[in-house]
Structure 1
Amino acid sequence: MAHECTCEILLPIEKIEKCSVCGTKESLRLCSSCTERVYCSKECQAVDWKSGHKKICVKTQRIEIERIYPFLAAHVNRMRISDKSPNIKHPALNNCIINSPNPGLPGTCGPIPGSKGEEATIVRLGPPIDTPFPEPSPRWWPQAMEPKVRRKLFRRIILEGNAFYVSLAMTFALLSQLYTCPHTRLKYKTSPIADFGIAHGKFKVIEDDQLAYVLPDGKVVRGQDPENHYWVYFKTIRGEELTFDVSCYTWNLCICTIVRPYIPEDGGWPAVFNNRELRRSDDSALARLYTEKERYSVLRDPDLGRVAMADDDRFTEDTMQSVAAWGESKLGKRLTPAERDFVPHCIGYLSMALRIALEDGSWKNWPAKPEIGLDKDSLEILADIEMGRYWLEFEGSMCIGFFVGPSVH
C-alpha cells in the first residue's frame, strides 16, 4: 500500500450520533466495510454509496490493534536498550552488584535506607565495572543463583523508566502514519478506534517487586515510581476501552509477546495488552492494578496534529523536538539532555518502521492473535513443571523465555 500523505489529520468518527445522510438519531449502524459512515437505513446507505462514498469505502483498510501492538512493543523496547537510551548511564548497569537480591530468598526485600519504613528489593552497588552498559555477566552480579535470574534482573533494570516517552513514541507513530493516510484505520474486533493516547496514574506493586539501589557512597536511588506511571489507552467508537503497557516489566509483571513474526531475530518483548478476554477472565486482576488519574489524547490533540502534518518528511529535528516539547508540557518539567536526545530518536525510528510496514504491506502477514507468555524465574518454572505445564526458551536479543499454557485470547 502506498503511503498517501494528505497533509491533514483525518480523524475517525468519535461517536455514533446521527445518520451521515439524513441526520436521524435512531436505528443507527456503521458502514460494515469502512466504519467511517453512519446510516439509519439501507436507503440512506444506498444514496450515500451512489453519491461518492463507494470510491472511498472500497479503499479503506482497517488494521486490527491486536495485530499491530506487538510490532510497536518490539521496536520501542529495542530503543530502550539502544545507545540512545537514558539508561545507558543507570548506576546499576555500570556498577557491580555486591549483595544477593535473588528472588524468593529471605532478606531480599527490606527497608529502604533513609525512608519512612518503606520497603523494596534492595540492590547494593559496588565498584564500577570496566565496560559500560554491560551484558549481564557474572562479573556484574556474581551472587546470582543462576544465569537466568541474572538476565532477568538485568532486563528489569534496563527497561526501567521512560514510560511516558515510549508511550508518546508509539501513539505519535500511529497518528502520523495511519491518520494522515485516507485509507487506513485502527479497529478492535468490529469497532473502529475513536481515540487513543497516554493515560497517567498509579500501578499497584508489592514491595518485593519494587527496586531500590544503594550506591557505593550510600546514596539511595529509587527504581521506577509506581505512583507516577504512564501507559497507552485505546477507546472504540462504542466506548470500549483497552490498555497497552510496555513499562511494567521492571515491577515483575513479566507478560511478554513473541515478536519473531515482526523481527525474526528477536524472541520476545514485554507487552501487556489488556483486551476484552482478559477483562472478562475471572482470574485476571490486571484492571485492578491500574488507577487512572488523567489522560492525554494523542489522536485528537490539535498541536500534535499540526506537527504530524507539518510536511511530507515528519522526521526532521524541528518536528521531533516539537513533539518532545508537547511531552514537557504534559509532564510539567523539562527533559534532561539525555531524554531530549532519546525522545526524537525513538519517535523517528518507530514512525519509520511503521511507515515501511504499511508501504510494503508486511502488516497483513502479522498474526491476528499474537502469542503471549510469562518470563519466569527458575523457582516459578519448577512449580509449573510440577503442575504439568510446559516451559519453552526463546533465545532472542533479550534472551526472554516464555511460559506456554492456556491462551488468554
Structure 2
Amino acid sequence: MPKTTQEVLSAAGGRDERAIYLPLESLDKCTYCAKAAQDAKLSWCTSCAEALYCSSDCQKADWKTHKSKCGTTDRIDLQTYYPFLASIVAVSHLHPKLSHPALNHQIINSPNPNSGEIVAFPNGDKAKMILLGKPVPPSSIGSTEWWPTGTTAKIRHKLMRRIINEGLVLPINLSVCIALLSEMYTTTSSKSTPGKRRVRFSYNRSPITDFGIVHGSAPVTPQDRLAYYNIDTHTFMMGQDPNDHYWIYFTTLSGEEHFLDCNMFTFNFCILAKSDFYANANNGMPDLSVVPAFFFNRDYAKRMPLLGQLIWKPKKRVSILREARLKDLVGASANFDYHDLQSVYELMKDISGRECTDWEKEMMREFLPNTCKLLRINMHTRAYLGFPKEPNIMIETDPGEDVKTDEHDEELDKYLKKWGRRLKKGKISPEQWQKAFNSWRDKPLGAKLEMGGSPTRR
C-alpha cells in the first residue's frame, strides 16, 4: 500500500478510460425471477448490494451468473463520512486564489453580534453592513488591527471564519459530487478486476442509490446576512445570497432522502463537526479543528420531518451520480486539470438556472482536481475505516444566546418527536407541525422546558 500522498497520487493518477459502476436505482424486481417489489419483500445481496432477490432460493439459483459481478465491498456510512466531505468544503474555501476584500482591509465599524447597521437595498434585500477601510497585511486577520471594535477575540475570530466560508457554493458542492462519482463509483471488485475493492456509500445499512445537488433558498435574517462597502474605493459587494443556495442530497435504496449542507456558517448557522480525524496531513489536508456541517439524517427526519421543505426550500434537484454528461468526462482520466469542462459549465447553468460567472468557472477548474485528489487519497489508503462512527458535533453560540443544557436537549427531543409522529400518522397538517416548531423556536428557555412534556399543551 502506498505510504505517502505522492505515492498514492502516482499510483492512481494514471488510470485512464475508467468505467462508472452505478448502484441499483430502485427496489423494483427480483434479479432472478423478476418478481415485482409490490408482490414480494426484496433484499439486496449482502456482499455487493448490487442485486435484488425475493428469496434465498432465487439468490442461490442466480449465484452462477451473479458471482462474476459480486465482490467484497467497503460500505462507507454517510454518518461516519460526512465530516470528511465537510472538511473538503472547508479546505476549498482556503484556496490560495481566494482573497476576500473584508480579510485584507480593516473593518472600521462595529458589526458585533446583536448590533451593527442593517441596510436595506433597492432590490429589497437587507443585510448587516461591514465598512472596509485601509488595507491590512494577512498576518493581522482576526486581530484588533484588522477589526479594532470587535468586542472579543472570539467574536473577531468567528466573523473572520464566516467571511472565509462565504461564496462559491455551487462550484464547491458540485466538485465534491463529481469527485465522489470519479473516485468512489469507478471502483469495482468483480472477477474481471482481481485485487480491486469496491467502495460504496450507504446509510443505516441501506445502499445509496443517488446523490446530487439541490438548488434552493434558506431563510436568513438581515442580522445574519453580510454586505460590504469600501469607503476608499466606493465599491459595494453583497455577501452570499441565501436565495441562491446549494446543498447535497443522498437517496437510499430503501427510499429515504438525507442532505448535507456545509455552507450556512456565513449566515451564522453554526453547527460544526470536529474535524481532527478528517482534516489532517494523513488525508492530504491542512489541520482544521472544526468545520461547518449540517447533516439532515434519520434522527432529524423523525424530530423535524418538514425541515428540508420549511427551512431549506428546494427549487431544483439534479442528480450527479446518474448525470449522463459526466460519464465521458469521468471515464477519460483520473485527472481533470487539463480537461475542457464545458459539460460541467453546462451542468452548472442547468442547476442554477443562470449563466455562471467566469469567476465561478475558473474556480471550478481549481476545485475539481484538488477535490478528486483528496478523495483519491482517502479511497486508496482506506482511511475511512478509522473514522468515528458518530461524529463529534458542536454548536457555536454568540454572546447572549441561550446556553443549551442536557435537560433542554432531552425535552426538545421529546417535543419534536411527538409532533413528528402526529404528522406521520396524519393527525396534524404540515401547517400545524410548522406552527408547533415555530412555537418552540420562539419561546424562552424556561417555557421550552415546560412545553417539552406534552405537545398538546397549547
**Matched AA of 2:82:** Y
Residue among 256, 261, 264 paired with 2:272: 256
1:315 is displaced (CA, Å) by 3.0
Structure 1: 5+ residue stretches without partners: 390-409
Structure 2: runs of 5+ lacking an equivalent: 2-10, 189-197, 281-286, 410-458
Instruction: Give yes or no for contact 2:16–2:332 (8 Å, CA) kept in 1.
Output: no
Match of 2:129? 122
| Aligned match of 2:259 | 243
Q: CA deviation at 1:199?
A: 0.4
1:310 aligns with 2:332: yes
Q: Return the offset for 1:115.
A: 2.8
Deviation at 1:326, TM superposition (A): 3.6
3-state SS of 1:61 partner? strand
- 1:300 aligned to which of 301, 304, 322: 322
Give me the whole-angstrom Cα distance separating, in 1, the residues matched to 2:300 and 2:16: 36
Residue 222 of structure 1, aligned match among 238, 242, 245: 238
TM-score of the pair, normalised by structure 1: 0.85
Q: Give the counterpart letter for 1:327 in structure 2.
A: M
The equivalent of 2:28 in structure 1 is: 17
Amino acid in the other structure paired with 1:194: T
Match of 2:164 in 1: 158
Q: Which amino acid aligns with 2:44?
A: L
CA contact (8 A) 2:276 2:288 kept: yes
Match of 1:33 in 2: 47
Asked if the contact 1:6/1:180 (under 8 Å) is kept, the reply is no
Range 352-361 or range 209-218, more displaced: 209-218
Q: Do the aligned partners of 2:19 and 2:186 also contact (CA within 8 Å) in 1?
A: yes
1:110 — aligned with what? 118
Give RMSD over aligned pairs. 2.7
Matches within 5 A, 1:64-75: 64-75=77-88
Deviation at 1:304, TM superposition (A): 1.0
The alpha-carbon deviation at position 323 of structure 1 amounts to 3.3
AA at the equivalent of 1:120: A
The residue aligned with 1:393 is none
Q: Distance in 1 between matches of 2:186 and 2:33?
A: 28
CA distance 1:288–1:134, change in 2 (3 Å): farther
Partner of 2:111: 101
Q: CA contact under 8 A between 1:125 and 1:213: conserved in structure 2?
A: yes
For the Cα contact (< 8 Å) 1:192–1:237, is it kept in 2?
A: yes
- From the superposition, tell whether residues 282 and 326 of structure 1 become closer, same or farther in structure 2 (CA, over 3 Å): closer
State the secondary structure of the residue aligned to 2:385.
helix
Q: 1:133 to 1:170 in 2, by over 3 A?
A: farther
1:3-402 equivalent positions in 2, closer than 5 A: 7-25=18-36, 26-27=39-40, 28-49=42-63, 51-85=64-98, 88=99, 90-105=100-115, 108-112=116-120, 114-115=121-122, 118-129=125-136, 131=137, 135-182=141-188, 183-216=198-231, 217-264=233-280, 265-281=287-303, 285=307, 288-311=310-333, 313-318=334-339, 323-324=344-345, 326-328=347-349, 330-331=351-352, 332-336=354-358, 338-380=359-401, 383=403
The SS at the match of 2:23 is coil
Give the Cα separation in 1 of the matches to 2:28 and 2:202.
19
The alignment-based identity, stated in percent, is 35
Contact 1:315 1:348 in 2 (8 A): yes
TM-score, normalised relative to structure 2: 0.76
State the AA in 2 paired with 1:278: Y
CA gap of 1:227–1:334, structure 2 versus 1, over 3 A, is: closer
Secondary structure of 1:318 counterpart: coil
Q: CA contact under 8 A between 1:5 and 1:180: conserved in structure 2?
A: no
